[in-house]
Amino acid sequence: MLIKVVAVQSRLGNKLSLEEKLFIFKQRPDFVCLPEYCLIGETTPDFSRAALYSRENLQYMKNLSGEFTTCLIAGSMVEAEGDSLFNSAYLFNRGELMGRYRKLNPMAGEIEKGILPGDKLFTTIIDGVNIAILICADALNSELFTLVGEMDLDIIFIPTTSPYRPGESKSDKYERDKNIYLKNAEISGAYIVKTCGVGQLFNRPLQGRSLIASPWGIIQRVDYHSESSACILAAVLDIEEIREFRQKRNAHARKEKIVS
């Protein structure tokens, strides 16, 4: 089974332009993933203010999924539940709400600004493809990937915002991607689609290091010179290949356990 995924590296606060929509539509994607906090504009003062637009943002994402007639991982948004704030990623399939995931591992800066951690993983099956959603710093918790690796997942989508690091070299960036995303693809036995935002988040400049990875290598990544630009990655993923990889890996692990 071949499926196409699209990672939309967009400027935070901007809805997709007609040109971007047409480009995505022409890809005929099975899955489209947007960035973390994708609709928080540069003038938004804090998370509490951002949460006021959650209902409007959900309607926009629902409509977008319907327009593309595809499964949309709607980046993430701030939503309030009583006095609590969460960093939530919603999943829409052809305009139908399929579920929600709340970030399990908020960064210290998020916690200081009122974001609370979620309490459970989110996995589902879309058109026969087993998927999960994580958000940004969740990728730093390798135990999560060990856990989802036991669930026979095919793709893990990770909406992200990456802070700009002045003076960081190209090799430093690629080494970090290798040590986090390629390593976690190996641990989980799944494809990883990481989608970053560009622009600023609460006056903090961002760099877009979106990528699509498999356990055996990086399939697509944003060019080093395009990390500050909106751009779109697309890749065809072989679901049978990733499942065969897991079967062989698990068989090898069982054999090693018997020998030891």
SS3 161: coil
pLDDT, averaged across the chain: 93
Rounded to whole angstroms, the Cα distance separating 124 from 206 reads: 30
Tens of pLDDT along 180-222? Answer: 999 999 999 999 999 999 999 998 999 999 999 999 999 999 9
- Cα dihedral across residues 46, 107, 137, 145: positive or negative: negative
The pTM (predicted TM-score) of the whole model is 0.95
Task: Tell me the domain boundaries of the chain.
Answer: 2-259
Distance, in Å, from the CA atom of 157 to the CA atom of 72, rounded to the nearest integer, reads: 10
What count of Cα atoms within 13 Å lies in the side-chain half-sphere of residue 54? 17
Instruction: List the single range of 34-38, 52-56, 165-169, 218-222 with lowest mean pLDDT.
Output: 165-169
- Side-chain-facing half-sphere of 7: CA atoms under 13 Å: 30
One-letter amino acid at 208 equals: G
Of 130, 133, 183, give the one whose Cα is nearest residue 158. 133
Percentage above 90 pLDDT, the chain: 80
Question: Mean per-residue pLDDT for 33-40?
Answer: 97
Superfamily of the domain at 2-259: Carbon-nitrogen hydrolase (3.60.110.10)
Question: Among 7, 52, 51, which residue's Cα sits nearest to residue 156?
Answer: 7
**Spacing of C-alpha 9 from chain mean position:** 10
Q: Which residues pair with 231 in a beta bridge?
A: 9
Angle ∠(196,227,234) on CA atoms, nearest 5: 60
Give the model's pLDDT for residue 226: 87
Q: With 80 as the cut, is the pLDDT of residue 250 above it?
A: no
| Mean pLDDT, range 97-121, rounded to an integer | 94
